[in-house]
Amino acid sequence: MAITTTPALPVSLAGRVPGLRRLRGHSGVTWVAAVWVLLLLLAAVAPGLLASDDPTRLRPSLVLMPPGEGVFGTDQYGRDLYTLMVHGTRSALLIGVCSTVLGLVVGSAIGLVAGYAGGWVDMLVGRLLDVLMAFPGILTALLIAASLGPSTRNLVLAVGLALVPVFARVARGQVMVIRSRLFVEAARSNGFSAFRILWRHVLPNSLAPVVVLGTINVGTSIVLAASLSFLGLGPRNEVPDWGQVLSTGQPYMATAWWITTIAGLVLTLTVIAISLLGDSLRDRLEV
């Protein structure tokens, strides 16, 4: 299958996981970002390691205590803010990653098929994408989240579907370049089915920009989900979540600045770290 590994696909994507050694060439900032994201992953997988307390433990005697009580202070129920943020990482990252994956998979599939098929299919899809792109993502997500009702699953659906046109557009553009390449023509003259050509030849070679966009987008998704949470469309359950901390802290802002400030800071730092890593991925994949 020599024809599948054309220069358009960097070696690292074809199989070898880019090792940490490759990071050495990057600036210190990228390192800090990588450490931050690793910490978040640790917090998501094993929150107990970083904060052993029970995040839902209510302590009526310690309501709205400033930082100093614990690391970050406490919230309106006396819950420890640091513990809450550590345990809320999983939900925030899950929402960000799942919605991005949803948008990426559905969007790429649409873009792939439209770009490869060409003709009236592509025209129709192209126009539809224009329509969707002409519509701000936050409104799409708001409408979907509101119709489905507040829950984590629906938040993922809303944010993910709002992302579909973005990914479809990038994938379609990429496919239109790839489809005219010699190796695709070779595969076609070999009599391979359209599905096989798409799956084995066009898709792997169109992935790089989509993956980069996806990486950067995880941060955007987290923010979008937090905004929807803030508008009252987030999950309303016992599971701790950054967006939830941020919005429930709002009424206490005048007296307890630390709740919204710290939750928002963590959110912002995460978005920055993810987008820095995405940029460095872009550099490495040369897209």
Q: Which range in 91-99, 112-120, 193-201, 222-230 contacts other proteins by CB under 8 A?
A: 222-230
Beta strands in 150-263 (DSSP E): none
Of 117, 173, 230, 282, the one binding other proteins by CB under 8 A: 230
Distance CA 132, CA 6 (A): 33
Structure tokens at 83: 């513990």
Distance CA 108, CA 99 (A): 14
Shortest distance, CB of residue 197 to other proteins, whole angstroms?
31
134 part of the interface to other proteins, by CB under 8 A: yes
Of 196, 232, 237, 283, the one binding other proteins by CB under 8 A: 232
Distance CA 26, CA 64 (A): 42
Of 130 and 185, CB closest to other proteins: 130
Of 42, 62, 64, 223, the one binding other proteins by CB under 8 A: 223
Of 5 and 275, CB closest to other proteins: 275
Report how far apart, in Å, the C-alpha atoms of 15 and of each of 2, 7, 9, 85, 198 are: 14, 14, 11, 35, 19
Shortest distance, CB of residue 60 to other proteins, whole angstroms?
25
Of 12 and 261, CB closest to other proteins: 261
Q: Which long-range contacts (CB under 8 A, 24 or more apart) does 134-138 make?
A: 137/162, 137/163, 137/166, 137/224, 138/162, 138/224, 138/227
Of 128, 176, 239, 285, the one binding other proteins by CB under 8 A: 128
Distance CA 273, CA 31 (A): 9
| Crossing angle (nearest 10°) for helices 257-285 and 242-249 | 150
Residues 233-272 touching other proteins, rule: CB under 8 A, are 246, 250, 253-254, 257, 260-261, 264, 267-268, 271-272
Burial 115-134, CB ≥16 within 10 A → b, else e: bbbeeeebeebbeebeebee
Of 237 and 268, CB closest to other proteins: 268
| Total of chain residues touching other proteins, rule CB under 8 A | 38
Distance CA 25, CA 20 (A): 10
Shortest distance, CB of residue 162 to other proteins, whole angstroms?
11
Of 112, 142, 162, 277, the one binding other proteins by CB under 8 A: 142
What type of residue sits at position 110? I
Instruction: Give the residues lining the site for other proteins (CB under 8 A).
Output: 127-128, 130-132, 134-136, 138-139, 142-144, 146-149, 219, 223, 226-227, 230-232, 246, 250, 253-254, 257, 260-261, 264, 267-268, 271-272, 275-276
